[in-house]
Structure formats: C-alpha cells, structure tokens
Amino acid sequence: MDNEPQDPRQSLSTTLARPDAAGLPAENRARLETHVLRPHGQPRLNPPDYSISVRTKFGSDQLLHIPGQRRQSLRGFEDHYADIIDFIVRATHFVWEEKNVGYIYEFYGMESKVQDDSGQQFGRERVVAGTLQAINAFPDFRGYADEVVWAGDDEVGFTTSHRAVLRGTNTGYSAHGAPTGRKVHYWLIAECWTIANEIREEWVLYNTSAQLQQLGYDVRAKAREFGSQVQWDSVLAPRLGEPDRQLGHRKPEYLPAPTGGFDPGDFLRRVYHYIWNWRMFGKVRDAYAPNMRFFGPSDRQGYGRGEYQAFVISLISMFPDLMVTIDDQYWMGNEREGFTTSTRWSMVGTHTGPGVYGQPTGRRVYIWGITQHVIKDGKITEEWMMFNEFEVLAQILRE
C-alpha cells in the first residue's frame, strides 16, 4: 500500500477514483495492513485470566501517561496502544475528557452501527454530534472505567463490555433542556466491537433514566415527550405475534444436563432460562450468593436474594408473557480467580400487568440490556444490569 511516486498530472485527474493518501500520520500506516484480517467465521476466545484487564492498570501515571510496551497482538491499531483495555480507556479519555472529539474519526468506522436508547443509528458523524452535545452539556465530564470485560483478538475483532461511571455537572444545554446546574453521577455500559483501531458496532446504554432523575426532570413526562416524537402510523406498528417463549400451551423447554466442569456460559444460560423464561424464581437461591449485590438502571440497588427475586418478579408481573434471549455472551477469568462476564440480552413482552410503569397499556415492549456478572465459586456475587429503561417508558407512555 506504499504510495508510489506519481505523475503529478495524474493526481489532478478527475476521472480516477484514486484514493487520497496524502497527509496520513505515521501511526496510521499500521492501519492499512488489515486486508488480511478475517473478522467472521473464526471462534472468539475468552481470556482465561486477568493479565489484560483494568485490574492491572494501577494509577493515573500508568493508565494515561505511560501505558508501556505492547503486550498483545493489535494488528491495525495505532502503535502506542499497549493492549485492548489501554485502547478503550485512553481513547475514551482522549475524546471525552481531553475533548478531542475529532479523534472519533480515527476510532470509529465510518459505517459504525450504534444501538442506543433511541434505537439503531448508523454512521460516525452521528457519534461525533452526540459526543459534542454531551460534552457541551457536561463540560466537566469524567468517565471512570469500572470494569472492562473483553474477548476476541485482532483477527475476529475485540469485543469489549465497558462499564463506566459518569460524573459531571449540567452547566450547558443538553438534549433535555436548559442547564440545570445539577451534578450527575451514574453508571452505564457500552459494548463495542473493535477491529483495526475502529469501533465498528456498538451497543450502549446511557442510563438515561438515571440522568434525567438526577437532573430533576420528571422521567415519565420526558419519556412521553420522547416517545411521541415518532409518528406511530400503521407502517411503524409495534411488533406483532406472541413472544416465542414456549410452543402453544406446552411448557418451556428443559436444558440438557450440564457436562464437565464449571462453564460460565452454560451456567448463565441456565440462570436466564430457568429464572426468567421458566419463572423458577426460587433458583435465585441456587445461582446467587446470599449477600449478592444488584445494580440496575435508574439507580436501582438491591441487596440479597430476596430483593433481587422481587425485582425479577416485578418485571414479569408487568409483562407476564416476557421472554428473554441471550444475544451475545463472553467472559474473562477462571475458576480460581472467578469469572467476570458480559451478557447482552433481549426481552419481549406485553404490558398487561401493574407496576412501576403504571396501569397496563397492552403495548408490546422491547427491552434490551447488557448485564455484567461477577461469579465466585459458582455463585453470582454481583450483578450489574443495565437496560433501555427510558426507551421502555417511551414505548409505554407515548401518545
């Protein structure tokens, strides 16, 4: 891909779609050698330990200034990145905290597909615009990486589940209105698929409901306003058919018995299937530690199995035909050190029961979320569950 000396007349030609390779900085060279990568069709591997994780990133000095030498194959990434965690943490810092918003041109693909609280969006420009608006609203923004679960490699792409804590003061205009002067402090999850220094797909849950609550807005009113912006004509009619949880009046399927040692993927599939799809809430007792901590959207907190069980029941009582499916799942760790997992999931249900979302509307609702679990000795000790609650409210309350 080296640029050969050209005939200057040729470079002036308007008929040739010759790529303009002028002015690329040196560190971008590495990003040109990526035609050999084969992102699809390869198995994605889960890291068997925490040697590359936020747990090894101690201190601002190392984290932001002196990341050290490369310790992982990162074909196509800029030279100075040491590993995938370093990439996620420092690129986020560079864009959001140092306010180099334009670096998004280097680290998002131009065709990036981003799923957030307002549905699926395409294109890098929208990421640039959204970031600008957020930094404008919260100029003192800080984003702490609390956990980054990752899997994959530079061939199939890195998948990262980035749980971040956001702090900031609303001193600028935001999408929700004039500056409130309030401080916000909440957590969120962004899952990214990165290849050759570029995020190609992203699923991000901004915990919008927590932000609105902390800014002092009426979340339900804002959701109604947001949901009503779309003209819901017959073409956009919500999902049809029944949630496909069981066949007719059969019962939900049984999963085959587990084989071999502890497999976190199998364990979590069982947890979701039996607790959520089978409504066997008592299994919370088997799968969760007695003093488990639950963190949810809108600043929800739960302590212990009893409160967690009740949270699950409250959702299913509002959406009695609720069905959950697992969309993506990966993890780090081993039995000795414990596992840290990330599960992206979807739920479909019909709002026919009472609960925190108000009187039943009969509307079909699509919920999707990302949950990080900490598993020790075969039991879940922490659950960080984020879902599109603001969008769910919008689906329910729109006019």
Size of the site for another protein (CB under 8 A): 88
Spatial CB neighbours of 104, under 8 Å, sequence gap ≥ 6: 95, 124, 127, 128, 131
Q: Which of 113, 269, 363, 379 binds another protein (CB under 8 A)?
A: 379
**161 is an interface residue for another protein by CB under 8 A:** no
What the block records as the tokens of 391 is 């969008």
Spatial CB neighbours of 83, under 8 Å, sequence gap ≥ 6: 52, 70, 71, 72, 74
CB of 166 to another protein, least distance (A): 9
β-strand 157-169 against 183-195: which pairing, if any?
antiparallel
> Nearer Cβ to another protein, position 156 or 267?
267
**65 is an interface residue for another protein by CB under 8 A:** yes
Q: Which of 22, 58, 229, 254 binds another protein (CB under 8 A)?
A: 58
What the block records as the tokens of 390 is 């603001």
User: In angstroms, how far apart are the furthest CA atoms of the chain?
Assistant: 76
CA pair distance 157, 45, nearest whole angstrom: 11
Q: Which of 30, 37, 39, 62 binds another protein (CB under 8 A)?
A: 62
> Nearer Cβ to another protein, position 106 or 125?
106
CA pair distance 321, 140, nearest whole angstrom: 43
CB of 397 to another protein, least distance (A): 12
What the block records as the tokens of 118 is 């307002």
Closest CA to 368 of 395, 346, 344: 346
> Nearer Cβ to another protein, position 252 or 360?
360
Which DSSP symbol is given to 30?
G
Q: Which of 103, 125, 266, 366 binds another protein (CB under 8 A)?
A: 103
**3 is an interface residue for another protein by CB under 8 A:** no
Interface positions, 223-282, toward another protein (CB under 8 A): none
Collapsing DSSP to helix, strand or coil, 387 comes out as strand
CB of 45 to another protein, least distance (A): 19
> Nearer Cβ to another protein, position 156 or 395?
395
Closest CA to 82 of 101, 63, 106, 96: 63
> Nearer Cβ to another protein, position 13 or 51?
51
Closest CA to 97 of 133, 41, 143, 33: 143
380 to 243, 255, 265, 285, 375: CA distances (angstroms): 28, 20, 13, 10, 4
Residues 106-145: x/- map of binding to another protein (CB under 8 A)? Answer: xx----------------------------------x-xx
Q: Torsions phi, psi of 164, nearest 5?
A: -125, 150
Interface positions, 174-213, toward another protein (CB under 8 A): 185, 209, 213
**214 is an interface residue for another protein by CB under 8 A:** yes
What the block records as the tokens of 136 is 């404008």
What the block records as the tokens of 351 is 């709002």
Q: Which of 3, 10, 14, 60 binds another protein (CB under 8 A)?
A: 60
> Nearer Cβ to another protein, position 26 or 235?
26
For the purposes of burial, counting CB atoms within 10 Å of the CB of 136, is it exposed (0-12), middle (13-18) or buried (19 or more)? middle
Interface positions, 68-87, toward another protein (CB under 8 A): 68-69, 71, 78-80
Q: Which of 6, 11, 73, 100 binds another protein (CB under 8 A)?
A: 100
> Nearer Cβ to another protein, position 145 or 246?
145
> Nearer Cβ to another protein, position 102 or 119?
102
> Nearer Cβ to another protein, position 80 or 239?
80
> Nearer Cβ to another protein, position 19 or 41?
19
| Cross-strand pairs, 167 | 142, 185
**361 is an interface residue for another protein by CB under 8 A:** no
Interface positions, 284-343, toward another protein (CB under 8 A): 285, 289-291, 293, 295-311, 313-314, 333, 336-338, 340
